[in-house]
Structure 1
Amino acid sequence: MLTIGGIACAAAENLGDVLRESGWDRIIGTWVDAETKGSRNKTTYAWRFKDRVIEITSWDSWDGEKESVSLIGLNPRTGDVFNLSADSQGASSLGRWTVGKDGEAILDLMFVSGEGQEGILRIRQAFKDNDTLIVTIDLPEPIVFEMVRVKKSQPAANAKTDDWLRQTWNKLQAEVEAGNMSAEDARAKMIAIKKDVYEKQKK
């Protein structure tokens, strides 16, 4: 159950109410990893149904090129804030969000990989400021990184750039399928292309 200051949220509230009370309504928007400005990770939180359901679309290259879609909603009977996800590699997960007294949002989830392996994972997020998130993936050796908000006027939000990068990735995938390039080389080349694009956009 999503809690604020250790007190369970009333079951009658909608998701928008819960987020506003906890200060997490500011998550809405597009975020990119601070280190590469989106070459490794880009995530968008948007209302699918205002105050009811949030849709999360994400791209990352941490473990190969991957896209994912998630839905966040509120169970009106129990007050649980749930998270349903699936990605382009065949993985899926079911989780629950909680917010503690310190304002940290915690996602505890159960997942099944594209290869059928099952597991559990905890992801923690905290606002450094209104435009910076600190994300921690709780592993034996935790992964910690920052995400920064993309302003609407920034090139990283440019749909044309995103479309071009997607087309480029599709071409590289075609080369892999044709046997002209290894999957590892394709990923490395795509990461290099993205870094080059975002470096040019910053100038």
Structure 2
Amino acid sequence: MVVLDYGSGNLRSAQRALQRAGAEVEVTEDVDAAVNADGLVVPGVGAFAACMQGLRAVGGDKIIDQRLAGGRPVLGICVGMQVLFELGVEHGERTEGCGQWPGTVARLHADVLPHMGWNTVRTPSGSALFAGIDEGTRFYFVHSYAVRDWQLVTNPPFQPPLVTWANHGEDFVAAVENGALVATQFHPEKSGDAGATVLRNWLRDIAG
């Protein structure tokens, strides 16, 4: 298991959480290790533009492409989820993302920002990531930007992603399950037992 080191924070907490969930984890920017690992975790904190700059500097966008082309699991966390979308808009600045999913990351319409603390989520039927987690369980969020009003067009025979939603002022995407590509806007590594269950579920799916 590799946590991709591209200059973003939160690397070691992600590593420790995965280790507690039973994984052997290396934090590295090495391309070969990142491409060939059983699973790749892309964490992220801070600004969308800065994360994309760091990701491209180590070839992270190409690593993600290469892994997904081979059906190899990738987990994005917080801004590591946001950069998987087409576009980020912050302070009027538009930054191209990895483009794995259509959609724009934009500032939430809410009275209080950042959205910081514990919040419930609405999970879709058939979710593997949230298996065994009770409705009403809270997860830990820290963000001011998110994907809102995400409209997906299904292209048969491909199945649409499973989308989990949360609300802070308005609905936003809290998690996505899309084959080998999975991501959470919340921080599973800071979400206590519920976050640990999410990580174990992801690791279980990798193990097959």
TM-score normalized by the length of structure 2: 0.30
Q: TM-score, structure 1 length as denominator?
A: 0.30
Q: Which has the higher contact order (CA 8 A, sep 6+)?
A: 2
**Greater per-residue strand proportion:** 1
